[in-house]
Structure 1
């Protein structure tokens, strides 16, 4: 067994992050998600919104939490990756479990420290998401059904994303920026539909290799496609309820529905291969970016 010299650890972690947590994807997603959620929550109160120092604390906290969860996933999936992804860093030894756990501990302290500047509520809510991730890791070790059944796994793992959304909204409420009401729940449902549309799209295909973790393997391609399209429709429905009273300018984010419409048509007519991921990724980016633009432009 090779010994890793302590000064080498930051470089090894850096290479892990660049490969398994591509900043231009994950950091962009975290940034747009937080700005869209916060901006929409504030403007729905009738108050003009501009990013503040607290906004950037939330953005950094969410991105760091996503990195924490990615490091955790790498450990949870080790046995699966030994068979299906033998080039992954943890499998090849490019990073070790001890190094990942040390980085996760540092991330936890950093997230807690950042949110201490906001409120005790913000600290507790941010740590709740990380704690739920650790609970899931233990649950998957104890329950083969949770680990191996895709839909059950999604049902128990997705709430960690909900908890991150609650952290953003809850920290706003704790600061007195918004008053928690039904619109907050609908905003979180909107974000859930946007994310889950992409999640189902990336695991929906007409063909499934042996052992592949696809929702379409359990539901069948057409039903999985129906769920994928339905989630995009759910996101648009949430926007109509929330933003229609503001008039046509408030409905700018709804235009992003053109992408899942095209993706659905292409998937169902081709009848081979997977869902066109560019449409699902574009739906996430365009929806959140349009929500940010709406929040900035509308009084």
Structure 2
């Protein structure tokens, strides 16, 4: 099997293009829409080319991060998820290096018009690469302790959110206030939290399974899964100078996830369906995009 076929297999298995593209568009436009709404502004029609750059950038950047995560988790996956491409040996490290090189090329070309954003991405990827190198030498950083893994990985996500902030500043022609930027980054971080904790929420983890339940307990993990979204919506409702209807639209996805979470806890089900958290995040991002565009 040639390199291109192996890379295609990896992408299809670990980064499905259709859903990944939809998320990249929602994340890019939604994040910028959030900053615009917090600043009492709207995304202008002239920003469409930059929104395209952002969507392409998010898609390529998250694909690189997916590769790095799978390489770092390969030892764990050989036991817990042996069917995955890296763990099974269906794709080689050389194939993944080629894929990452292609993505980096896309990032550079796409962001020649946004050099400040490109600098942020360079810092992000260098840090992510350093985490991968550290995992080879220091087992404690490989991800078995999810709390440590989260603490080390937060800067990677924050730098992506800062990239969105840089793109928003370019669209409006000047930097937003510290309050708008800081609050926007905090809200996006909280929104993402419902997925991070939700995909590992289980009452009784399998032997050897990675779960926050083993580190902070079931109830704390459930609280983070079902509470971060509503908290983000509440902060938005308090801070954003938008209409009451817009605030309701933003809150609905998070409230829906929380409602299903209450039902899940009441039914004493073992494993939380992580897809619900993912859909909740997508709904919130789309709401941010709508509010930031039309008010």
TM-score normalised over the length of structure 1? 0.90
| Residue pairs, 1:101-180, within 5 angstroms | 101-118=97-114, 120-147=115-142, 148-174=144-170, 176-180=173-177
Match of 2:82 among 82, 86, 92: 86
| Residue pairs, 1:230-245, within 5 angstroms | 230-243=227-240, 245=241
**Paired residue secondary structure (2:195):** helix
Alignment of 1:209 onto 2:203:
no
The CA distance in 1 between the partners of 2:213 and 2:101, in whole Å, is 36
Give structure 2 stretches of 5+ with no counterpart: none
Cα deviation code 1:216-240 (max 9, x no counterpart): 1222212211222221232112211
- Alpha carbons 2:41, 2:292 under 8 Å: kept: no
- Alpha carbons 1:169, 1:184 under 8 Å: kept: yes
**Paired residue secondary structure (2:250):** helix
- Return closer, same or farther for 1:258/1:172 CA change in 2, 3 Å cut-off: closer
Further displaced range: 88-97 or 46-55: 46-55
Cα RMSD over matched residues?
1.8
Cα deviation code 1:40-83 (max 9, x no counterpart): 32344444313421111111011100000111112111111111
Which one scores higher on RCO, CA 8 angstroms, separation ≥ 6? 2
The CA distance in 1 between the partners of 2:215 and 2:20, in whole Å, is 28
Cα deviation code 1:231-271 (max 9, x no counterpart): 1232112211232x323123021122322222321232122
**Paired residue secondary structure (1:26):** helix
Shift of 1:131: 1.5
The CA distance in 2 between the partners of 1:234 and 1:27, in whole Å, is 27
Shift of 1:133: 1.2
The CA distance in 2 between the partners of 1:105 and 1:122, in whole Å, is 18
Give structure 1 stretches of 5+ with no counterpart: none
**Paired residue secondary structure (1:281):** helix
TM-score normalised over the length of structure 2? 0.92
